[in-house]
Amino acid sequence: MSNLLEDKVALVTGAGNGIGRAIVVAMARAGAKVVINDIGVSLSGEGGSASPAEETKAEIEAFGGEAAISTDSVGEWESARKIVQTATDSFGRLDIVVNNAGILRDAMFHKMSIEQWQSVVNVHLNGAFYVSRAAAGLFRAQESGSYIHMVSTSGLIGNLGQSNYSAAKMGVVGLSKSIALDMRRYNVRSNCIAPFAWGRMTSNIPAETPDQKARVENLKKMTPEKNAPIAVFLGSDDARDISGQIFSVRKNEIFLMGQSRPLRSVHTAGNWTPETVRDHAIPALRPSFYPLDRSQDVFTGTPADFHHQARAPARPAKEHMPCAAPPSSALFALRSAPSAVSCARSRSRFSGAPSPGPCSNAPASTRY
């Protein structure tokens, strides 16, 4: 057993099953005292049972770990405060918050009900805010703390039939960055993980065509436990200088995901009109437009089984790829890509005179 989290207290929401359970067990094995928050509902958020949390607690106590249970919902402010209070009542402090709780109510956008939208956004986005905000006072007072938010490539890249889930997860991305900026002065950090794993949240993926069946078989190899090591690390003091980042884990691969920055610019000596936008701005910008990719269009192929190396995500070669040429799928030790994005504010990026942006092969700003 590792002692990376010795003397720390970790709170993991949605910890009764899947990725949440894998993370809370791994944190306990790393020496943390843990709070298992789970209300035992179905994937769609129905029902309720303490059994998943109790089973996870029994597993942790079997190897000598310490755990407490919270069955309060993340979806309400007062109950979120009770979740955090469980940590302080049980162990006297709180050092790590993992926002993992979630439900699914998938539907095509034009068929999605208001209830489907509100229920998913409330658990994922409001829940992440409520629990994080409830812990913020503790983190500020002790001048330390780590937030780890589970997000999704369904939001970062795109997916069909998940507008509620995608929007909520992208909201969590923005929330995490705001926390990282606002609480940096108190040595509090906030990061995101976009996991790939087979479990309840992915078990409803269609498996009818040969391609779909192959994708599902690949997903089944990506167990929830693959996502736990980076979560344990981000919760540790060894990650004290890492904040505002978005990681993704796919089996034995760890990706650093990009964050939105200007790609191209075009300007005019006078004022733009709809016609000059049409005739000049859009043709200049169009080569850098993003396609309507889904997550599986970007993360293609089979996950790498190699350890301690970087694998560039396999992507189709397209002329409109921004900044660098489409990355190769070959394995290499270091990738010549932009370094980790700092906790920069928007005005830090849009400051001073207009420039082509950070890409070395970006064309000079076009003037009309």
- Residues belonging to the active site: 165
Single out the residue of 194, 98, 94, 86 nearest to residue 147, CA to CA: 98
- Alpha-carbon distance 228 to 183, whole Å? 25
Reduced to 3 states, what is the DSSP secondary structure of residue 255? strand
Cβ(83)–Cβ(37) below 8 Å: yes
Reduced to 3 states, what is the DSSP secondary structure of residue 51? helix
> Per the structure block, which two tokens stand in for 271?
């004022």
Cβ(165)–Cβ(152) below 8 Å: yes
Cβ(148)–Cβ(98) below 8 Å: yes
Count CA atoms within 13 Å of residue 207 on its CB side. Answer: 12
Give me the phi and psi of 101, to 5 degrees please: -60, 140
Burial classification of residue 53, based on how many CB atoms lie within 10 Å of its CB (0-12 exposed, 13-18 middle, 19 or more buried): buried
- Alpha-carbon distance 168 to 161, whole Å? 13
- Measured in whole angstroms, the distance separating CA 279 from the mean position of its chain's CA atoms is 38
Single out the residue of 49, 12, 19, 15 nearest to residue 131, CA to CA: 12
3-state secondary structure 90-128: HHCCCCEEEECCCCCCCECHHHCCHHHHHHHHHHHHHHH
> Per the structure block, which two tokens stand in for 28?
């306990």
> Per the structure block, which two tokens stand in for 39?
């209300």
Give the N- to C-terminal CA distance of the chain in Å, as an integer. Answer: 64
> Per the structure block, which two tokens stand in for 299?
């993360």
